[in-house]
């Protein structure tokens, strides 16, 4: 199934979603007083941050989605 949408509409939708995901990332990092995703994930994995496992799993997925959307946006902008 494919759907056609205007390029500007696609950019707006992707940008909106990126902003939302960025806020989610920031809120998880702030909750654990961390500034860096990789450091947070490392500390959660090692047990340095107790009970951070669920947030680490969520953050890892959110960050993956963020990167995918960022890549998609860059391909749209090139066209």
d(C-alpha 59, C-alpha 12), whole Å: 23
Q: What share of the chain in percent tops pLDDT 90?
A: 89
Which of 30, 56, 54, 28 is CA-nearest to residue 42? 56
pLDDT band at residue 79 under the 50/70/90 scheme = low
Average pLDDT, the chain: 96
Domain-by-domain residue ranges, the chain? Answer: 22-78
15, two tokens: 């940008």
| pTM for the model | 0.89
- Tell me, what's the pLDDT at 3? 85
* Sequence-ordered alpha helix ranges (H) in the chain: 7-31, 37-46, 53-78
Could you report the per-residue pLDDT of 33-66, keeping only the tens digit for each?
999 999 999 999 999 999 999 999 999 999 999 9
């Amino acid at each position: 199934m494919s759907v056609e949408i205007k390029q500007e509409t696609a950019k707006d939708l992707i940008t909106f979603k990126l902003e939302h995901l960025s806020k989610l990332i920031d809120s998880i990092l702030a909750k654990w007083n961390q500034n860096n995703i990789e450091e947070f994930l490392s500390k959660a994995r090692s047990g340095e941050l107790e009970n951070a496992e669920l947030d680490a799993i969520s953050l890892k997925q959110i960050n993956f989605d963020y990167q995918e959307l960022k890549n998609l946006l860059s391909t749209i902008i090139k066209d």
